[in-house]
Chains A and B, each alone.
Chain A
Amino acid sequence: MKIEEFKDFTIQDYHHLLEEKKISPLELVNIFLERIEEGEDKIHAFLFVNEEKAKNEAREKTDNWPEELPPLWGLPVAIKDNICTQGMPTTCGSKMLENFVSPYDATVVERLKAAGAIILGKTNMDEFAMGSSTENSTFGPTHNPLDLRRTPGGSSGGSAASVCALEAPCALGSDTGGSVRQPAAFCGVVGLRPTYGRVPRYGVVGLASSLDQAGPITRKVEDAITILEVISGKDSRDSTCAPYPPFSRNEIPSLEDIRKIKVGVPREYFSSRVEKVIGEKIQEALGKLKGEGVELVEVSLPHTDYALEAYYIVASAEASSNLARYDGVMYGLRVEGEDLQDMYFETRTLGFGKEVKRRIILGTYSLSSGHYDEYYLKSMKVRTLVRKDFEEALKQCNLLITPTTPSFPFFLGEETQDLYERYTDDIFTIPSALAGLPSLSLNCGYEGGLPVGLQIIGGPFEEGKLLGLALWLEKLLALPSPFPELKEGRGQ
């Protein structure tokens, strides 16, 4: 089979092919490895391609074809490089971990493997997930397959680009303030950030522990459901993981019930900050729902404007502490120095990139004596207000719809002068992350070949409703799946 034939495939479709033995895991892996070979010098979505082991595993599976196939049996999956994979590099896009090979699997990887998936490789990302363009990767940026001059977004830019370019049928990313949804929006694919505590964090390298959540990046909403079913559910190794069973598609309401859902439209998300076309595309999608009889209500999330500041303080503070372990003593980079202090300074100064250092400094500052109350504590209070906003809004409706990003993917190397301006790229994904709510980005149209991401936000652990609406909306919009030609300039 040819890669083009998989353009509109869901994981279920691969599963059926495999069940009917119309394709073998080895053939499947080889097709994707070829596609990677073809696309990578233009896209650079992968930091590591697990060629040998993936082939061996596929061969092993091909030789031992079971009667009953586990849900992801034989399916290649790409993994963001901050998710630990045993025997493979886990660099977090940083020089600090350039040579680090994880001795253990993250729980989510363990679950993918147990479901029969084959790890295709590790995808590029902003260093330690700090950034929204993948340009902060020590190993060079990833290019947006839809327009190679542009960013795929970040920090899970490699995962989103690989799925968009069909170098992988699906991928895992991680979302701290929007790192799954924003690149999904920029690459015209689906990105799901589950409720905080829905998916175990064990083995997902911590950026901001109270915000981090791994999630699927897929070509179809259906696939996000399949992956979520596999990776979610309580984990005895993660205290913050909710003691609930894995998500099940049985939680998704019937279409009949979905039609009765009330959709809230928060007015703060349609401000002048949003590019006009993006606002229009979202309204179009909302119009379609209204046309189907869905009730739309305007709601307000009054503290939206404060979420960004609070987020950067909380995330940086936690990151400054989480990144203290990179000291050159037991793993990763080490630069020898005259004495211990020297070694610490040399190692960390050389091992971390500029943005990481900036956030460590900001985080350390906000936790340091005399500043804790003013910065860290205040931010945690704002977080409470942001949560309450959502609670109130979700009393008036069942789900919220917003744009995922205020703008289209920017050009690579397009340095914004103002650092703060750059941070505002995440204004629409940050609030629900602060509140720990499930949020999904779905492509709702193209403008000049560039995709527009629509975000659906739900109440805690209400992935069922959220995915139900996403499935329906995807069907209503009936957009073609991306299959970029990988030429310079605009694709699609």
Chain B
Amino acid sequence: MKEVVYLSELEKIARLSKLGFSAEELQSFLRDINDIVAHFEKLNQLDLQDVSPTSHLGGGEPPFFSDEPQAWEGSEEVLKGAPWVAGGYFIVPRIVDKEEKENEDRRI
């Protein structure tokens, strides 16, 4: 089978997806994804130049809501069910890592 997706690329995709794989799993996923992507080649038979994409099916004007706040009563329940909460905050491992710090500032 023609390899379209390379291992290094798959590793990058896994990192982006925050998924860990063993070397063996990576190989199996590499086969799978190349299998699917190979079938995808079929779409190249189509002339799609002038076709507009369909990203949404709904037509017409979507609804808006008016700017009136409404409180939700379930927040305590969410905190109760959360993996780790302290002082009303969701707790995560400390963000100190430089890369993460950068991430934090880069956001938005």
B8 at the interface (CB under 8 A from A): no
CA distance A243 to B29 in the complex (A): 42
Q: Is the Cβ of A346 less than 8 Å from the Cβ of B20?
A: yes
Q: Are B100 and A381 in contact (CB under 8 A)?
A: no
Looking at the assembled complex, report how far the CB atom of B58 sits from the nearest CB atom of chain A, in whole angstroms: 5
Stretch binding the partner chain, chosen from A177-185, A252-260, A334-342, A401-409 = A334-342
Report the separation of the CA atoms of residues A239 and B54 in the bound assembly, to the nearest whole angstrom.
Answer: 17
A380 within 8 Å of B (CB atoms): yes
Stretch among A49-57, A98-106, A284-292, A293-301 lining the B interface: A98-106
Interface residues of B in 3-55 (CB under 8 A from A): 5, 9-10, 12-14, 16-21, 29, 32-33, 35-37, 39-40, 42-43, 46, 48, 51-55
Q: Is A76 an interface residue (CB 8 A)?
A: no
Tell whether B87 is near chain A: CB-to-CB under 8 Å. no
**What residues of A have a CB within 8 angstroms of the CB of B37 in the complex?**
375
Using a CB–CB cutoff of 8 Å, the interface residues on chain A facing chain B are 99-101, 103-104, 196-197, 210, 234, 236, 239-243, 303, 305-306, 309-310, 312-313, 320, 327-334, 336-346, 348-349, 352, 357-358, 360-362, 364-365, 368, 375, 377-385, 387, 418-420, 423, 435-436
Asked whether, in the complex, the Cβ of A197 is within 8 Å of the Cβ of B19, the reply is no
CB distance from A215 to the nearest CB of B (A): 15
Question: In the complex, which residue of chain A has the Cβ closest to the Cβ of B40?
Answer: A309
Tell me the minimal C-beta distance from B5 to chain A in angstroms. Answer: 7
Known: A340-B93, A342-B93, A419-B36. A436 touches B57 (CB 8 A): yes
| Interfacial chain B residues near A362, Cβ < 8 Å | 33, 36
Q: Flag if B48 contacts A197 (CB, 8 Å).
A: no
List A contacts of B74 (CB < 8 A).
Answer: 103-104
Q: Tell me whether A420 and B29 are in contact in the complex, defined as CB-CB below 8 angstroms, given that A330-B90, A380-B55 are known contacts.
A: no
Q: Does B88 contact A (CB under 8 A)?
A: no
A334 to B46, Cβ gap below 8 A?
no
Q: Is the CB of A364 within 8 A of B40?
A: no
B39 near A329 with CB under 8 A, answer no
> B102 on the interface (CB 8 Å rule)?
no
Residue from B5, B9, B51 whose CB has the most chain A CB atoms within 10 Å: B51
16 pairs, A vs B, C-beta closer than 8 Å? A197-B57, A240-B58, A303-B46, A305-B42, A309-B40, A331-B81, A337-B93, A340-B100, A341-B100, A342-B93, A364-B16, A384-B52, A384-B54, A385-B51, A420-B36, A435-B57
- Enumerate chain B residues within 8 angstroms of A338, measured Cβ to Cβ: 93
Q: Complex Cα distance A320/B78, Å?
A: 24
Contacts of A340 in B (CB 8 A): 92-95, 97, 100
Most buried by B among A100, A196, A330, A375: A330
Residue from B13, B35, B92 within 8 A of A418 (CB atoms): B35
User: How far, in whole Å, are A423 and B38 apart by their CA atoms in the complex?
Assistant: 14
Besides the known contacts A236-B65, A309-B36, A360-B19, 9 further A-B residue pairs in the complex with CB atoms under 8 A apart: A329-B83, A336-B93, A346-B20, A348-B17, A361-B14, A364-B13, A383-B53, A385-B51, A387-B54
**Residues in B lying within 8 Å of A, measured CB to CB:** 5, 9-10, 12-14, 16-21, 29, 32-33, 35-37, 39-40, 42-43, 46, 48, 51-60, 62-63, 65, 74, 77-78, 81-84, 90, 92-95, 97, 100
Please indicate the chain B residues that have their CB under 8 angstroms from the CB of A310 in the complex: 43
B52 CB contacts on chain A under 8 angstroms: 381, 384
For B13, what are the chain A residues with a Cβ–Cβ distance below 8 Å? 361, 364-365, 368
Identify which of A361, A379, A418 contacts B17 (C-beta below 8 A): A361
Least CB distance from B31 to A in Å reads: 8
